[in-house]
Structure 1
Amino acid sequence: MKTFPIKTLFTTGLFAVSISITAQAANNDLATYQQQAKGLLEKLEAKSEGIEAASAQLVSTSLPIVNQFIAKYPECTEYLTALKQAADKIPALPLAEIESGYHADGKLPELKNAQCYHAKDLLVHPATVQAMAKLGIQTDEQWESAEHEIEEVIEHFTQVEAAMK
């Protein structure tokens, strides 16, 4: 039977606990994001109040997930870090600029892994809805467009969730 010094066992145990806590935090963040996204979609379908605040909260909830994604996929670092640096600015941009700069990646570095794209959209879609709400969502077409943004982010979420396992 091989024996290990207590220090090695202790260090290994702490590492295992650290990984377990990190995985649990990621699962909690993903569950919170999914719940908030579904709640925002329900608000949009009901054309209720609080769309701007709910979409801003979803943007905020996306940030730890983006950070965890960077940790798991370091090739996404440059791409997703540029996005995070713009997170506060995106909702204040004109919708056309959000589309060209962040949906279509015109203001982001080169995409090196398709998985990075899905993580990016966890932030960009709710930021788009936040921008729409700031402008005022009034017509049926605008409400449908905002709903589509969140329906789409829920699809991207499933990709991110699978990639984080």
Structure 2
Amino acid sequence: MDASEGVDGYVARATALRDALSPGADVATLRHDAEALMELGATLVPAFVERHPHCEGYLAAALQVRGTWPSLDLATIERDYHHDGVLPQVADSGVCYHMKDLVTHPATVLVLLKDARPDHAKARHEIDEVIEHAGFVARSTQP
């Protein structure tokens, strides 16, 4: 998995994960797929920053979720990453926000999957949202 998969590959993987998120699914496999999606999102950041350099610091801070998600609960990841609680302010943040979510939403799924009884519907909703964000990212990187 690398940036060559692009946003289309990201959406394909996200769709497959969303479709697999159901009660009775193997949680270890779901975690693996969510982590792979999070990492794929991270590989897309450098090319995105080339087009939107003002997002660099914001996205560098957002990428920290890759290492911190195991210690986060749902309220914390929502506050700190979805609502930018630990992220620097940036001008024209809308475009940066969509790219950030390609990493943040899969991390949120990982947090949800830590629960003994994961909320699969909420996890599917996270992936539905990230597919929408991916569309914005794709449009913002077109010449």
TM (normalized to structure 2)?
A: 0.88
- Comparing both chains, which one has the higher relative contact order based on Cα–Cα distances under 8 Å and sequence gaps of 6 or more? 2
Return the letter of the residue paired with 1:136: A
- Mark the CA change 1:137 to 1:55 in structure 2 (over 3 Å): closer, same or farther: farther
Return the letter of the residue paired with 1:132: L
The reply on whether 1:124 has 2:101 as its aligned counterpart is: no
The reply on whether 1:161 has 2:141 as its aligned counterpart is: no
CA RMSD of aligned residues (A): 1.7
Q: Structure 1 runs of 4+ off > 6 angstroms?
A: none
Is this contact kept in 2: 1:111–1:117, CA < 8 A? no
Deviation at 1:71, TM superposition (A): 1.4
Mean Cα deviation higher: 89-98 or 144-153: 89-98
Task: Calculate percent identity across the aligned residue pairs.
Answer: 35
State the partner residue of 2:88: 109
The reply on whether 1:34 has 2:11 as its aligned counterpart is: yes
State the partner residue of 1:60: 39
The reply on whether 1:94 has 2:73 as its aligned counterpart is: yes
Q: How many residues align?
A: 138
- Helix, strand or coil: the match of 2:64? helix
Q: List per-residue Cα deviations over 1:71-112 (Å, max 9, x = no partner).
A: 110000110011113322124311110000000000100032
Please list every run of 5 or more consecutive structure 1 residues that lacks an aligned counterpart in the other structure: 1-24
Return the letter of the residue paired with 1:74: P
Return the letter of the residue paired with 2:141: M
Return the letter of the residue paired with 1:57: A
Is this contact kept in 1: 2:106–2:126, CA < 8 A? yes
Mean Cα deviation higher: 86-95 or 74-83: 86-95
